[in-house]
Structure 1
Amino acid sequence: MQSYRAPHWLPGGNLQTIWPALWARRVDGAPPVYRRERWTTPDGDFVDVDRIDAADPAAPLLVLFHGLEGSSRSHYAEAFAAFAAARGWAFAVPHFRGCSGEINLAPRAYHSGDFEEIGWMLERCAAGRPPGAALLAAGVSLGGNALLRWAEEAGTTATRTVRAVAAVSAPVDLAAGGAAIGRGFNRLVYTRMFLSTMKPKALAKLAQHPGLFDRDALLAAGDLHAFDNVFTAPLHGFRDTDDYWGRGSAKPHLQAVRVPTLVVNALNDPFVPADSLPRPSEVGPHVTLWQPAHGGHVGFPLGLPPGHVRGMPERVGGWLAQHLPR
């Protein structure tokens, strides 16, 4: 993606974000068919994992962590699934709590810095695999930041679980991203879209656990900062939104990564400001930065109208494949 160029018919970060998610082709042929597993979490909750098995049990497994309010049916997930199938790899999308179509049970949800949950999911994915079978991981947007936080916290132990990781359009500076998505067009379109599903889920959580948070304050929340202040931060052990965004951001800790890591961000991403992205001097030797001028947020469309989104999984997946055993 470092050499990515957007098609001339789709100019600007917003079009390169919205069009791929809604209208671009994801796969050639039928959409992927998943096999769903339900895992019980250490705290007695559950997560749903959608999987595609490989013909060879020892084939590499690609684990994808989705973005905010995403799922295995997000455009990028289906494109990654097609990439993995074409390579003969197994593929898995562990859903963050509440994102698989059924509300989870515990008085918590998920968040951008949820590295402990990422670690548990990766260990569960690795369990039972044949000796030497490789595991690769990619994360998109929120899932990318959480995956990076895991790699940072795991340090030298990360290579016991994965061969390499990649983060696509991750908001590695959560405060900068939160401010950007809360302004102007972004607030009218993206913030409204996210809150339209996040608020009902939060209210369902309140019905499960009366008194968990202030209902009126949640209903009044007009941006992600206010929503996180009422819901996300206190439910996950943070003092407030600023504490959550500060401690959850991957950017300050990229020097600590000890596993091959790719970080992909378009410079015209509508809600990941270019000036918030890491510079080469701010990352360790195990981190590769791809920062193309165009691509939007998890867009990177290619081809003639309606275009397709296969290019990003192919290039990111190809980079991950370079780290498989020869």
Structure 2
Amino acid sequence: MPIIQSTYKPPFWAKKSFVSTVFSGLARTVNGVVQTRERIELDDGDFIDVDWSYAESPSEKVIILLHGLEGNAQRPYITGTAKLFNKNGVDACAVNFRGCSGEPNRLFRSYHSGATEDLEAVINHILEKNKYSDIYIKGISLGANMVLKYAGEREQLPTQLKAIIAVSVPCYLKGSCDALLSLKNKHYAINFLNHLKGKIKPKLQQFPQNISITDFNEIKTLIDFDHVYTSKAHGFKDAYDYYEQASCLQFLPNIKIPTLVINALNDSFLSPECYPVKDAKNNPNIYLEMPKYGGHVGFIDKRNLYYNEKRALDFIKN
């Protein structure tokens, strides 16, 4: 499918990647979304908490929302979409990945960019309700990589799944990790790492057979974290094996349902490989939009309604 010409024009003060990214992550607030929590028990003994918000009238349509690294279902980039879709007659199921709902998960493992089995569990849970004829999925950053991998690695998808929207996607995880470790992103990398280390520290006492204090103290960078924890906890050889197997880029040619990818050209978290121009041109189901501005999930627009949120709604309507 031809590359989509973006119409996004940010406010003059939000053109810099750093400004739009930081403002959107730290300063934006979204009010008026009433969420109801539901716990999904998983087959491996763990759980996922999902936060529902509903359209004013009973709906046969639902959007599943997937957050980014160390996010949750209350982040403004999730609730902003939920609010817009609820106003337009679509229920929203905002997923908290394992350990991200405010309560530690039960197992040594947690979540990662390629954990599509957890997304599948949520989808199956929704299908069991037998309530929705149309399901959409919108993923942000890590969640965007997950949903694209899910759609491309499975030969058959539920017939109810009608469209996917993926925003600020690190399609090539190794490249994105290298970008995060660059000097210009040092402050982001440190923040992510502190959150991640804080999350797994209690697991030192819970699972001493899996990780030691010596292992923990070796974690100095994000790639160290993936070497020491992510890979070992989720069945990969090392961080590089995890990046290779979990990256969605290799699965894009197989996607068979309408899929919108929005990656800003000034997103400092993304490497050149994260802009799948070739795949968009060769796969009629992939619509790639590359706005000049927007940073990482920072598509600031008028009246606290973000450009990517409006584009998501427009996409499912067309």
For residue 148 of structure 1, what is the aligned residue in structure 2?
148
Instruction: Check 1:275–1:172 CA distance in 2 against 1; reply closer, same or farther (3 A cut).
Output: closer
- How large is the Cα RMSD of the aligned pairs? 1.8
Kindly provide the amino acid, as one letter, of the partner of residue 49 in structure 2: D
Kept in 2, the 8 Å contact 1:171–1:272? The answer is: yes
Kept in 2, the 8 Å contact 1:173–1:277? The answer is: no
Instruction: Check 1:224–1:309 CA distance in 2 against 1; reply closer, same or farther (3 A cut).
Output: farther
Q: How do 1:117-266 and structure 2 match up within 5 A? A: 117-130=118-131, 133-155=133-155, 157-187=156-186, 189-266=187-264
CA distance in 1, matches of 2:97, 2:41: 13
For residue 21 of structure 1, what is the aligned residue in structure 2?
25
Kept in 1, the 8 Å contact 2:204–2:212? The answer is: no
CA distance in 1, matches of 2:306, 2:293: 16
For residue 289 of structure 2, what is the aligned residue in structure 1?
290
Report Cα offsets for 1:56-111 as digits up to 9, x if no partner: 44431011011111111112011011111210211111211000000000120000
Measured after TM superposition, the shift of residue 215 of structure 1 is 2.6
For residue 86 of structure 2, what is the aligned residue in structure 1?
85
TM-score, normalised relative to structure 1: 0.91
Quick one: which of 2, 6, 12 aligns to 2:16? 12
Kindly provide the amino acid, as one letter, of the partner of residue 294 in structure 1: Y
Kept in 1, the 8 Å contact 2:56–2:86? The answer is: no
Measured after TM superposition, the shift of residue 275 of structure 1 is 4.8
CA distance in 1, matches of 2:275, 2:106: 36
CA distance in 2, matches of 1:147, 1:256: 13
CA distance in 1, matches of 2:99, 2:90: 27
| 1:3 lines up with 2:3 in the alignment | no
SS at match of 2:122: helix
Kept in 2, the 8 Å contact 1:20–1:308? The answer is: no
CA distance in 1, matches of 2:182, 2:32: 35
For residue 271 of structure 2, what is the aligned residue in structure 1?
273
TM-score, normalised relative to structure 2: 0.93
Measured after TM superposition, the shift of residue 159 of structure 1 is 4.4
SS at match of 1:167: strand
Instruction: Check 1:44–1:273 CA distance in 2 against 1; reply closer, same or farther (3 A cut).
Output: same
Kept in 2, the 8 Å contact 1:145–1:167? The answer is: yes
Aligned residues: 313
| 1:73 lines up with 2:74 in the alignment | yes
Kept in 2, the 8 Å contact 1:267–1:274? The answer is: no
Kept in 1, the 8 Å contact 2:141–2:170? The answer is: yes
For residue 112 of structure 2, what is the aligned residue in structure 1?
111
SS at match of 2:107: coil
Measured after TM superposition, the shift of residue 55 of structure 1 is 4.2
- Percent identity among equivalent residues? 32
Moved segments of 4+, more than 6 Å: none
Report Cα offsets for 1:159-183 as digits up to 9, x if no partner: 4241111110010000000000011
Measured after TM superposition, the shift of residue 124 of structure 1 is 1.1
Kindly provide the amino acid, as one letter, of the partner of residue 228 in structure 1: D
Q: Structure 1 stretches of 5 or more lacking a match?
A: none
Measured after TM superposition, the shift of residue 2 of structure 1 is 2.1
Instruction: Check 1:233–1:161 CA distance in 2 against 1; reply closer, same or farther (3 A cut).
Output: farther
